[in-house]
């Protein structure tokens, strides 16, 4: 099994096969519209504009598992992302990234790259860890997604090569993207 075996519905309800992205570098992100990390949409869009012609595909998967920080309907999500951040990269329907209803794409991604920890010198990560321990303790073990805007980088051959946690700004990933393009 590989990343190209999966399908998902885009934000407009169309079924998309990830095999459509064969030969591209992918950055797959679980997103949320009402999160402290939501401004990362701006930098994801910058990366999309700068590198999409060179083979980068950014795929956003809205999720509301972390304190209900996403709108309820796809139309609201699409409108918010477009109006506030000019998002033109592919957005998908809302999914779950943890628990018994984990989307198969994210189950696969979590199996491919281990969680390496949250940098505890970063105050935001300390806050996230505190919230997780209090409200979502099941998300603190193994390779579970810890919060919104966890990013997975996939090379042109479909291999998941890295995982970047929420506090890592998308522009910090640019050198890794450039190596793969």
* Token pair of 73 as six digits: 């309907």
* Beta-sheet strand order (sheet of 160-164): 90-91, 56-62, 25-31, 151-154, 160-164
Distance CA 33, CA 51 (A): 24
Is the pLDDT assigned to residue 136 strictly greater than 90? yes
Distance CA 140, CA 25 (A): 29
Q: What φ, ψ does residue 179 adopt, rounded to 5°?
A: -65, -30
User: Minimum mean pLDDT among 39-53, 99-113, 114-128, 151-165: which range?
Assistant: 114-128
Q: What is the DSSP letter of 19?
A: G
Radius of gyration of the chain (CA): 15
* Token pair of 117 as six digits: 């920890």
65: confidence class by pLDDT, cuts 50, 70, 90: very high
Active-site positions read 35
Model confidence, pTM: 0.96
Distance CA 83, CA 4 (A): 31
Domains of the chain, CATH where assigned: 3-13+22-180 (3.40.30.10)
Q: What is the pLDDT of residue 21?
A: 98
């Amino acid at each position: 099994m590989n990343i190209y075996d999966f399908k998902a519905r885009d934000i407009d309800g169309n079924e998309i096969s990830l095999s459509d992205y064969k030969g591209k570098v992918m950055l797959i992100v679980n997103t949320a519209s009402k999160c402290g990390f939501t401004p990362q949409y701006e930098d994801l869009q910058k990366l999309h504009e700068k590198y999409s012609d060179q083979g980068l595909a950014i795929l956003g998967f809205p999720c509301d598992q972390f304190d209900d920080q996403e709108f309820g309907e796809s139309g609201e999500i699409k409108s918010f992302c477009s109006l506030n951040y000019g998002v033109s990269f592919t957005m998908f329907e809302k999914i779950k990234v943890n628990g018994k209803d984990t989307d198969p794409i994210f189950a696969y991604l979590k199996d491919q790259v281990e969680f390496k920890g949250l940098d505890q010198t970063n105050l935001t990560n300390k806050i996230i860890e505190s919230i997780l321990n209090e409200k979502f303790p099941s998300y603190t073990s193994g390779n579970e997604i810890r919060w919104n805007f966890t990013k997975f980088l996939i090379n042109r051959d479909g291999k998941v090569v890295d995982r970047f946690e929420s506090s890592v700004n998308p522009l910090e990933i640019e050198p890794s993207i450039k190596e793969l393009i």
